[in-house]
Amino acid sequence: MLLVRRARHTTVLLLRTQQRNYSHSRRTFCVSHTHLNQRKGLVLGVFEKEEEEASLHLTEAAKGFDQTVSGKLSELLKISGPALKKGKTRIFYGIREDFPCVAVVGLGKNNAGVCGAENWDTSKENIRQAVSAGCRLLQDLEVNHVEVDGCGDSQSAAEGAVLGLFHYDQLKAKKKTKVTAQLHKSADLVGWEKGVAYAEGQNLARLLMEAPANHITPTVFANTIEEKLAPHAERVTVNKRSEAWIEEQKMGAFLSVSRGSEEPPVFLELHYNGSSDSTQAPLLLVGKGITFDTGGISLKPSASMDAMRADMGGAATVCASIVTAAALKLPINIIGLAPLCENMPSGKATKPGDVVTAKNGKTIQVDNTDAEGRLILADALCYGHTFSPRAIVNVATLTGAMDVALGSAATGVFTNSDWLWEQLHKASVVTGDRVWRMPLFQHYTKQVTECQLADLNNVGKYSRSGGACTAAAFLREFVTAPHWAHLDIAGVMSNKDEVPYLRKGMSGRPTRTLVEFAAGLTQHS
């Protein structure tokens, strides 16, 4: 007898088969502590059958496994219920002694390819979703070693496994089972390792964003990134700039935000030199690094303020993407800038109506201290131009208005460059972590430049209308480079259940898209 449990039901089905001449000891298995103590599992994929297909459409790895058990996997799939739908799982126990638990996952249609309506590669997304579901199912059974079917795209399978297994429980006494995932019998080990690197990069961003603000201060953030880059010291330079240096640079906008906190600000500067051509102009990545945002004197409501521990998501994704680029040894030069501070209310904090001076000499009337991200980015963008970059991309959890506009479906992109937009969009189709272009009309520029007391107003004349667009227009006033893009990631900061292969919590998006974008630029020297 073979015991089979369908993952989408709690019912356990006892299936009898006498079609093959197995000895009783070989054929009789049960869900026991003996099996689970071996703690080894396997994830295999199955595609939806095409109309003309008479048999199951197993992946190559699943076919190979099925042959080793004389077709028993196919047999059990046929008699255990309806065809396995996309993203659904079914688990079998005792098919083969070396894998006490085998999770079979539905991959949808084979070779679904890029979907223009969805702006992503459906096949890759299906693999990520399915593999994630299978790995989590085995993790819940306390399996600690999982071999994963490459499903025809080992990179996507690795991403699904590593992203799906991540769970932030560092501060809990009871932790989820830590699972090691490896590729199951496939030649594409290079793709698998690339996928692991991409996913680990996003998980680093998730780790930073999820951690409480008293554990990730500006100083701790900078030290953590320095530690992650230590293995790549021959290619990377890390500069942790002090408050005194920030003052020397006359970054008055940045300092106006940090002054309300007892935690000192840090200006983190990363140089990754991956190109053999030392004269190659660098890609400049700039990330908003507010490690906690109370709103300052313009205090936020207390409900959900705890989520503002992730207001450094821009810095987290930028720094994590550079860590990943270094791990992959991408042949490109990248400079990362992360102005890090807290936005707190105190007797020293900036007051609504105050006027501050940015690094480029422009004065800013701060009518809302909760619109602080654009202030710290303004000075970072000014400083970044001194490196004569080939392109500038800044990333920030900048506006609630972006969440209203796009929700969690995509990152909003504001850019002055069609070429840069095309590169970002192409990368996002591959990763499934989508971007969507937003307008940079002069209509919005006028709203931030027509100001009573200064050159610029940090919220514009109509603070509730087109908030994401006026924020982008504000940043544009500090950009002279021909290829610049602002990514507003407020809507994709966290995940409830929208992305199936990410658990509930901070998402780390769009780290993989930034890495893929940087990798793509290596083809455009």
Supply the DSSP string of 143-210, one letter for each residue.
Answer: --EEEEE-TT-HHHHHHHHHHHH----TT-SS-PPP-EEEEES-S-HHHHHHHHHHHHHHHHHHHHHH
The pairing of beta strand 435-437 with beta strand 456-457 = unpaired
> Residue 337: which H helix or E strand, with range?
strand 333-343
For residue 520, give Cα distances in angstroms to 428, 455, 514.
11, 38, 10
CA–CA gap between residue 154 and residue 336 (Å, rounded): 29
Rounded CA-CA distance 337/239 in Å is 10
The question of whether 434 is a catalytic residue gets the answer no
The total number of residues shown for the chain amounts to 525
374 catalytic residue (yes or no)? yes
d(CA 28, CA 419): 62
CB-based burial label for 227 (10 Å; 0-12, 13-18, 19+): exposed
3-state class (DSSP) for residue 139: helix
The helix or strand, by DSSP H or E, that contains position 140, with its residue range, turns out to be helix 122-140
Residue that the structure tokens 């309806």 belong to: 82
Q: Is 378 helix (H, G, I), strand (E, B) or coil?
A: helix
How far apart (Å, rounded) are the C-alpha atoms in residues 146 and 134? Answer: 10
The beta strand positions in 212-310, using DSSP E, are 236-241, 266-273, 283-287, 289-293
Q: Give me the catalytic one of 39, 250, 300, 437.
A: 300
Dihedrals φ, ψ of 393, to 5°?
-130, 120
d(CA 432, CA 498): 12
Residues 6+ apart with CB under 8 A from 263: 217, 218, 219, 291, 341, 342
Whether the ω angle into residue 510 lies within 30 degrees of 0, i.e. cis, is yes
Listed residue (177, 149, 233, 166) closest to 200, CA to CA: 166
- Closest alpha carbon to 516 in 185, 124, 179, 129: 124
Catalytic residue among 374, 390, 434, 512: 374
What percentage of the chain's residues is helix, strand, coil (to nearest 5)? 40, 20, 40
| Catalytic residue annotation | 300, 374
